[in-house]
């Protein structure tokens, strides 16, 4: 299915071949990548748990996002709210509006399930552009604080690693 198309960008359902292409591109740019992550999303899509999207820029895979319903992790898990999971745009395609178009498509899908959507964003500087984008799009912290490996951190916890599992959850009213 096609969710968006203009002269440069196409947003469509993820295909099995996309998993390896995106993984190879992420590894080439120095990101921690695993083809199994994308294959797992495709299995979840086949089971009806999510919608997995890919953005193409001039015919090349440039980004991806998944919408799970109900969400799987964080403070809103299993509350019948959709969760945006694993949003990313490859570095060489950033600053071309691709991320915004992917998020537009994801939010439109999420709005079909509920009036609110949520997501978790990493806290290290590798997530800086995503953090800024989410705030500009109207996402606000949910108030549950920082989470690590799907558990809320308590005040004065010592966190020894600032990896991809240290997140802050944000939500947005869609309608």
Digit-coded pLDDT (tens) for 73-96:
999 998 999 999 999 999 999 999
How much is the average pLDDT of 37-60? 97
Domain 2-173 has CATH 3.40.630.30: yes
Q: Give the domain ranges of the chain.
A: 2-173
Q: What is the pTM of this model?
A: 0.95
Average pLDDT, the chain: 96
User: Over the chain, what HEC string results?
Assistant: CEEEECCCEEEEECCHHHHHHHHHHHHHCCCCCCHHHHHHHHHHHHCCCEEEEEEEECCEEEEEEEEECCCCCCCCCCCCCCEEEEEEECHHHCCCCHHHHHHHHHHHHHHCCCCEEEEEEECCHHHHHHHHHHHHCCCEEEEEEEEECCEECCCCCCCCCCCCCEEEEEEEECC
Res. 54: pLDDT tops 90: yes
pLDDT tens for 144-155 read: 999 999 999 999
How much is the average pLDDT of 66-77? 95
pLDDT tens for 118-147 read: 999 999 998 999 999 999 999 999 999 999
pLDDT given for residue 159 in this prediction: 83
pLDDT given for residue 160 in this prediction: 78
Confidence of residue 68 (pLDDT cuts 50, 70, 90): very high
């Amino acid at each position: 299915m096609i969710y968006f198309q203009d002269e440069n960008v196409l947003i469509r359902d993820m295909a099995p071949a996309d998993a390896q292409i995106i993984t190879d591109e992420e590894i080439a740019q120095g990101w921690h990548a695993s083809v199994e992550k994308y294959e797992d999303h495709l299995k979840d899509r086949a089971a009806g748990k999510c919608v997995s999207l890919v953005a193409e820029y001039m015919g090349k895979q440039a980004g991806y996002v998944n919408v799970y319903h109900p969400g799987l992790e964080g403070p809103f898990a299993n509350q019948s709210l959709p969760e945006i999971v694993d949003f990313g745009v490859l570095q060489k395609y950033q600053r071309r509006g691709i991320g915004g178009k992917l998020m537009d498509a994801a939010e439109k899908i999420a709005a079909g399930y509920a009036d609110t959507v949520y997501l978790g964003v990493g806290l290290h500087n590798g997530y800086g552009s995503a953090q800024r984008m989410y705030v500009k799009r109207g996402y606000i912290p949910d108030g549950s604080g920082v989470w690590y490996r799907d558990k809320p951190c308590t005040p004065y916890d010592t966190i020894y690693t600032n990896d991809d599992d240290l997140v802050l959850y944000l939500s947005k009213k869609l309608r």
